[in-house]
Amino acid sequence: MAFYRAHILVDTGTPAVLKGAMGMKSALVDEIKKRGLDKEIKVVETGDLGLHGVGLALIVYPEGVIYANITAQDVPEIVEEHLLKGRQVKRLVYTGPSSAVVDGAAKPRSREMRVILEHIGVIDPTSIDEYIAHGGYEAIAKALTQMTPEDVVAEVKASQLKGRGGAGFPTGLKWEFTAKADGENKAVVCNADEGEPGNFKDRLIMEGDPHQIIEGMIIAGYAVGAHEGYIYIRGEYHQSVSHTEKAIADAREAGLLGKDILGSGFDFDITIFKGAGAYICGEETALLESLEGRRGESRMKPPFPPTSGLMAAPTVINNVETLASVPRIIDRGADWYAGIGTEKSKGTKIFSPCGDVLYPGVYEVPFGVTLRDIIYNMAGGIKGGKRFKACLMGGPSGVLVGEDALDRRLCAEDLAPGAGALIVLDEDKCIVDLMQNCAEFFHHESCGQCVPCREGTKRILEVLNWWTTGAGSEDDLRLLEALGETMSLTSKCGLGQFAAVAFKSSLPLFRDEYLAHVKDKVCPAGVCAMDKVLEEVK
Amino acid sequence: MCSESCGCSSDIVGIIEKYDSDKRNLIPLLHELQDELGYISPEVMETIAEKLGTTVGQVHGVATFYTLFYTKPRGKNIVRMCNSTACHIEGGRKIREAVSAALGIAPGETTQDGGFTLEVVSCMGLCGVAPAIMVNDDVYGNLTPEMVPNILGKYREAS
């Protein structure tokens, strides 16, 4: 490998690319060449740095200085001042809280702790060499040469890692069930069908560090005795697909996928499967149906996938973030991992605050930090200095919390964080309008297979359409509560079971606001057009 | 297998021949054929069904279940407007109204000249830059209604 005195990492995540990141990058490369610095300075495209709302961004290493809101016109100044003369261009240096900064000048002032996102913004996600140079694939070497499959399962169990897709099932236990299940052709499936509004952490991992998912999957395969792996990526995530495809090809080339991995005699390979736009496929059995070439309609459980999953074979299905946590656990040990977080929630969790916060993005923290810590200390507080009103935890299928929850801790024993989305609302937003949007989402995404969900999501939307247009009545509140209860109890899968949870949690908190809509026909926030009649729900 | 008499172009035959007849190939096949043809016609469904040894009903069922598959011709450019909760609270409705106004069509419709098809989608995972739209594979985030005509104009000129 050639030696460079400086590396410049350019954020080329999906949002950045279409703000012109590629043009800026080529201007940078040209300028560096023009100054004769191309042998000394390397420009690297990196995934999404998790810095949103700050325009185009790049990081200069070894200093770790972040420049934000830059344009191609700023490039000559950065090259001349910083790279040639060693003086930072102060007016462009980013000083806000950041999930991208690892070390160097701009230390995060938050309590962020990067375990899974350790390499994001540090390595070139399209280079397997850089992943390996940062300790990548050491865990797989350790697992395959020094540990038995039972050891690996025991280690993951001891780490107390739980699923990061929202449900929080203990990963080690899932692996143990699958390892002990009888059956040929076991499989490992990575659930990368991230579709819950407000969540974009899995995209960031796939775009910024795809190799650690692959490494996690190989370890899972070894632990449970599977030789096939599938990554089910949502069809809208183009860059996630391309980076992961490249990573798989490189790993295969390096002998880390395929036959006889690292001479251990263990075979494992991975196929990418592109989803086609269906939120329901994030539900594990619907995902399996889709992988088998059918409509994404969830299956009856039991049997659960560890006993009967893909093509009826025992199958491990884990979320992207869960699998990405595995290499670190094997590498550094279960004790280290279990030392992070709280009694019931071990390790770190990636949160994605968005909505009315100043710096939306992804932030990785140990379990147990407070909601206030993330919203105010990391995401910069509420935009425009406004007041916090509410936060939808995990997305539309989560619970809504109000101001009194700000000091609650994010962990299983206090406020369960779901998949990590924190959709924040300021004082000007309307809760009923928010619920109407959530209802539209579930109505659109219900697969239509079971009656409680198909009809329930439609009726919920209908009722919320009344409320947001001045056509509601007080009786509807009880009606919707009862309907929500019925759906929770009788829907076949999580989609229907959780479709009314946000509403139910919001009712005691914002009863006055609901009553204003249904009794007085007034939207206190002035958001709902109370005299506009919506079209009938189709 | 698809013969010359069925009228498929050689590109289509090439794509279909890449896959074996495992039914699990249905969704990858639909993706690839749609990329080539723009949408999945009844004839293509028949060809796929024959290839995979399944029924046309099965293929149709899958093609109509997933929102990224189209069974009717679409406009040259696809505008996807996000209706996720994050985009919604950041003013997504105003953006959708601006796009509809600029194109003169409602969601689900295609402009008369076949230039644009307009869609509302659930979430594109772009919540960090809400409100967002996608035009074809291009992402536009942190939008205001004023930005919309310029963005669409670029595609209008190109087509």
- State the residue range of the domain holding B52: 12-65
Chain B closest-CA separation from residue A494 CA (Å): 17
Q: Which of B84, B144, B147, B150 to mutate to test the interface with A (most CBs of A within 10 A)?
A: B84
Chain A closest-CA separation from residue B103 CA (Å): 21
Do residues A290 and A164 make contact, with C-beta atoms less than 8 angstroms apart? no
Instruction: Determine contact: B67 vs chain A, CB below 8 A.
Output: yes
Number of residue pairs across A and B with CB atoms under 8 Å? 151
**Looking at residues A368-390, what average pLDDT do you find?**
94
Alpha helices in A421-467 (DSSP H): 431-445, 451-467
**B109 and B54 both lie in a single domain:** no
User: Considering the entire predicted model, what is its pTM?
Assistant: 0.88
Per-residue pLDDT band at A432 (split at 50, 70, 90): very high
**B60 and B83 both lie in a single domain:** no
Q: Which residues pair with B78 in a beta bridge?
A: B117
**B87 and B122 both lie in a single domain:** yes
The torsion defined by the Cα of A255, A256, A259 and A265, in degrees rounded to 10, comes to 110
**B136 and B81 both lie in a single domain:** yes
Does some domain include residue B6? no
Cβ neighbours for A128, distance < 8 A, ≥ 6 positions apart? A136, A211, A247, A250, A251, A253, A254
Cβ neighbours for B8, distance < 8 A, ≥ 6 positions apart? B2, B16, B43, B47
Q: How many CB atoms lie within 10 A of CB B10?
A: 8
Report CB contact under 8 Å: A293, B25: yes
For residue A72, what pLDDT is reported?
84
- At B47-103, the pLDDT tens digits run 999 999 999 999 999 999 999 999 999 999 999 999 999 999 999 999 999 999 999
Kind of pairing, strands A363-366 and A348-355?
antiparallel
CB nearest to B127's CB, from A17, A197, A444: A197
ipTM comes to 0.92
Does some domain include residue B70? no
Angstrom distances, CA of residue A442 to CA of A514, B28, B64: 20, 26, 18
User: Which residues of chain A have a CB within 8 Å of the CB of B121?
Assistant: 236, 277
| pLDDT: which is higher, A367 or A120 | A367
Q: Which of A412, A411, A356, A363 is nearest to A388 (CA)?
A: A356
Chain B closest-CA separation from residue A62 CA (Å): 28
Flag whether pLDDT at B2 surpasses 80. Answer: no
Mean pLDDT of chain A: 91
Flag whether pLDDT at A115 surpasses 80. Answer: yes
**Looking at residues B116-132, what average pLDDT do you find?**
90
Chain B closest-CA separation from residue A442 CA (Å): 9
Q: Which of A247, A239, A230 is nearest to A191 (CA)?
A: A230
Does some domain include residue B35? yes
Chain B closest-CA separation from residue A353 CA (Å): 8
**B53 and B102 both lie in a single domain:** no
| pLDDT: which is higher, A16 or A206 | A206
Report CB contact under 8 Å: A356, B90: yes
Number of H helices, E strands in chain A: 20, 13
Q: Which of A396, A460, A157, A184 is nearest to A311 (CA)?
A: A184
User: Which residues of chain A have a CB within 8 Å of the CB of B65?
Assistant: 278, 295-296, 447
Per-residue pLDDT band at B144 (split at 50, 70, 90): very high
Alpha helices in A160-237 (DSSP H): 171-180, 201-208, 210-224
**B84 and B59 both lie in a single domain:** no
Flag whether pLDDT at A109 surpasses 50. Answer: no
**B81 and B154 both lie in a single domain:** yes
Domain count of the fold of chain B? 2
Q: Which of B132, B137, B125 is nearest to A48 (CA)?
A: B125
Per CATH, domain A6-92 is 3.40.30.10? yes
Q: Which helix (H) or strand (E) holds A159?
A: helix A149-159
Report CB contact under 8 Å: B127, A293: no
**Alpha carbon B126 to chain centroid distance?**
18
Angstrom distances, CA of residue A137 to CA of A96, A134, B39: 33, 9, 41
Instruction: Determine contact: B106 vs chain A, CB below 8 A.
Output: no
Q: For residue B86, give the CATH number of its domain.
A: 3.40.30.10
For residue A536, what pLDDT is reported?
59
Determine the Cα–Cα distance for residues A460 and A479; give it in Å rounded to an integer: 10
| pLDDT: which is higher, B138 or A457 | A457
Q: What is the DSSP letter of A533?
A: P
Q: What is the DSSP letter of A299?
A: P
Second-level CATH architecture of A431-518: Up-down Bundle (1.20)
Flag whether pLDDT at A100 surpasses 70. Answer: no
For residue A410, what pLDDT is reported?
96
Does some domain include residue B100? yes
Lowest mean pLDDT among A70-79, A176-185, A263-272, A466-475: A70-79
Q: What is the DSSP letter of A80?
A: I
CB nearest to B66's CB, from A277, A423, A438: A277
Determine the Cα–Cα distance for residues A456 and A446; give it in Å rounded to an integer: 10
Number of H helices, E strands in chain B: 7, 4
**Looking at residues A169-177, what average pLDDT do you find?**
97
Does some domain include residue B88? yes
Do residues A516 and A470 make contact, with C-beta atoms less than 8 angstroms apart? no
Inter-helix orientation angle A511-518/A475-490, to 10°? 120
Does some domain include residue B1? no
Does some domain include residue B71? no
Flag whether pLDDT at B124 surpasses 70. Answer: yes
SS3 for A357-421, per residue? Answer: ECCCCCEEEECCCEHHHHHHHHCCCEHHHCCEEEEEECCCCCCEEEHHHCCCEECCCCECCCCCE
**B61 and B107 both lie in a single domain:** no
| pLDDT: which is higher, A222 or B4 | A222
Flag whether pLDDT at B1 surpasses 70. Answer: no
For chain A, domain boundaries = 6-92, 128-338, 348-426, 431-518
**B127 and B91 both lie in a single domain:** yes
Per CATH, domain A348-426 is 1.10.150.170? no
**Closest CA in chain B for residue A379:** B128
Flag whether pLDDT at A50 surpasses 80. Answer: no
**B21 and B59 both lie in a single domain:** yes
Tell which phi-psi region holds residue A448, choosing left (phi > 0), alpha (psi between -120 and 50) or beta. Answer: left
Instruction: Determine contact: B76 vs chain A, CB below 8 A.
Output: no
Q: Which residues pair with A325 in a beta bridge?
A: none
Does some domain include residue B47? yes
Report CB contact under 8 Å: B86, A355: yes
Chain B closest-CA separation from residue A425 CA (Å): 7
- At A289-337, the pLDDT tens digits run 999 999 999 999 999 999 999 999 999 999 999 999 999 999 999 999 9
For residue A13, what pLDDT is reported?
77
**Closest CA in chain B for residue A19:** B140
Alpha helices in A181-209 (DSSP H): 201-208
Fold classification of A128-338 is Rossmann fold (3.40.50)
For residue A106, what pLDDT is reported?
38
Burial (CB count within 10 angstroms: exposed 0-12, middle 13-18, buried 19+), residue B17: exposed
Do residues A488 and A442 make contact, with C-beta atoms less than 8 angstroms apart? no
Determine the Cα–Cα distance for residues A354 and A367; give it in Å rounded to an integer: 19
Q: Which of A11, A18, A440 to mutate to test the interface with B (most CBs of B within 10 A)?
A: A18
Q: Which residues pair with A365 in a beta bridge?
A: A349
In sign, the C-alpha dihedral spanning A468, A469, A475, A481 is negative
Do residues A43 and A25 make contact, with C-beta atoms less than 8 angstroms apart? yes
- At B5-55, the pLDDT tens digits run 455 677 788 899 999 999 999 999 999 999 999 999 999 999 999 999 999
